[in-house]
A and B are shown apart, each in its own frame.
Chain A
Amino acid sequence: MPSPVMPTSKRSGGPQRPAAVSAAGLRKSYGDKTVLDGIDLHIPAGSVFALLGPNGAGKTTTVKILSTLVGADDGRARVAGHDIATSPQAVRAAIGVTGQFSAVDGLITGEENMLLMADLHHLSRREGRRVTAELLERFGLADAAGKPASTYSGGMKRRLDIAMTLVGGPRVIFLDEPTTGLDPRARHNMWAVVRELVTGGTTVLLTTQYLEEADELADRIAVLTDGRIAAEGTPEELKRLVPGGHVRLRFTDPAAYRSAAGALRGAARDDAALTLSIPGDGSQRELRSVLDRLDSAGVEADELTVRTPDLDDVFFALTGGTDQPFEETSR
């Protein structure tokens, strides 16, 4: 009888919840191409964890391994308390997977897809009908329930896909690029779905190449690049990792600009544009000190902007520059 939870590790701060997903040293190569080069993960139960990275970083491969679709070459992982290598069926019974590519049966209707899932989860006919009706309603598919899934729009297919994933009441859900290819409205709907899942106690591991999405949804983010985790933490922790925050002052009067530059030693000057940039973390205290010094110098800036580092800065700093090739690869 395996214990229901992994022993908790002591590497991250804060109160430790039992891990829904934990992995150590996952490796995978296809031929001589190394796709995963030692991945460690610790995802507390009931949280949203985002794997963020460019195409080809190994996000999908990680999901495929953790969801028992493919085997790892090396390393160990437990999902919902079960070892993925030694008890894959127990893992499968606890998870739901929505892959990058639509996992619906296009030849049959949305409702038939849902009933197929209910049958495969061994629900009674009555229970299957109830769950199907409820989920189709919840995902706005009740009207399209009788149409073949192949006629659905991209957003509808994705919703049906998630609805099918939820039929068995999974405790851990893997969402591989759940919003890729969706329009903004469909994307926001998907975010609402993910938030709702977590309030119900489900653990969500999602992959995304959108920084905004990880920032919006995830409790913790791992930045994956070239098969390794380059950084891991809360969105705020990651933002603190990189410089880039500053207060920017713009002037129209050259005299005021010169006085301000004299009062604020250490500011980066742009004499042509009459702007000053003062590096910092964007805190209230720091902002007040800048304003105090401007006051005592008797100058007033015409425009003041505060810029905190966002995940874009983190992403580009960690994944090697802005010229990251975003070519379409499927893996």
Chain B
Amino acid sequence: MDNQNTLINEVTDRDYRFGFVTDIETDSIPKGLSEEVVRIISAKKDEPEFMLEFRLKAYRKWLTMKMPDWAQLKIPEIDYQDIIYYAAPRQQAKYESLDEVDPELLSTFAKLGIPLEEQKMLAGVAVDAVMDSVSVKTTFKENLAELGIIFCSFSEAVKHHPDLVQKYLGMVVPPNDNFYAALNCAVFSDGSFVYIPKGVRCPMELSTYFRINAKNTGQFERTLIIADNDSYVSYLEGCTAPMRDENQLHAAVVEIIALDRAEVKYSTVQNWYPGNKEGIGGIYNFVTKRGLCKGESSKIYWNQVETGSAITWKYPSCILAGDNSVAEFNSVALTNNYQQADTGTKMIHLGKNTKSTIVSKGISAGHSSNSYRGLVRVAAKAENARNYSQCDSLLLGEHCGAHTFPYIEVGNQNSIVEHEATTSKIGEDQIFYCNQRGISTQDAIGMIVNGYAREVINKLPMEFAVEAQKLLQISLEGSVG
């Protein structure tokens, strides 16, 4: 037992690996939020009138809202007037080749293990690298453009495809949805926009890396993915952030719209700075992610591996509006030290014969707190709806907490909804068994945790599965080979 505790302590004592600050000049506006600031952001981005109206409407709504307090989280007071709402890397020239990109930025990505050029060559991944708020470089655009796929920064989309943006922006997450979504709607700086035309199967994984860089900058990303009839896309989102002592706010919004028979796979590996061992610093990750299975037989998959952030408040959800639509949520959430996570999903069944699956694996260590909060609602008209939910929690160390709060609301008789959850620590018998076979306790814990998370990691695209496994190992370093 002592041995195990030492190991657990080693695990919990790990430092954050990706803590560094890139020195790039940023173009910031003063701290604080007001109608004026919203107008400045909109003006700086040269936006059409409908965007300004959208932002102002959201801002006015936000003023009337309160921070949600129902989550199993202790969130320190956040002064929304003490945040810079817009920061963009100063060099805003449009690059045609990688040589023109700020070398320092490139080396930052290299440190993160995402060399643009390498990925471009080898992995066949188009990377839309978002540094702070403005999209710096988009690769593979031409290849995608040939198929009619639009993959660009949000600001570009507003400029070049205003009709699409106007039609779909706010359709899934309206400005009045919740406190953080309203804030995002008012001040969002940039993000990614994806449109897959009818019948097109996107030939590569689309990916974007978010980084929070400029000090005291809240990052408000907005992603909009539209998959037209019979199309397919797999989208990757990965996050790492440099070390900070002050807490930073990240309130992103992701909207996915899947039309008839379209399929969207959205995978996330989240590794924001979680704060130090005493729980100081770290990112506040308050994200609203929601997909709408609008068309019949459409499919949306959320896959996520969450290891970072001081506080996570995140519920990637699906509205199954189309008949025969399918949604899945697969998640591994690991919390360590003083991290807090309240995450889960909502599956709203509206259409007939809709199916959803939820698999959530929580791992808590140190003094952290990890909650699953989910809602499965079957509307009266959603006949033959089917849901299966499983949420398991694994506890490492005696000071951590694992909580589950599922809500199940079933409004008709021919639907089947199942939920099950277990909470346990790593079994001493399992470790003993491994020891007996000559596997050290250290390796055994690693094996057990990886085996525990495998079900979800297997759902991730290849590139991410490797990274995710690495992340789990890093987070549990000292115990995992």
A and B physically associate: no
**Chain B residues with a Cβ under 8 A of chain A:** none
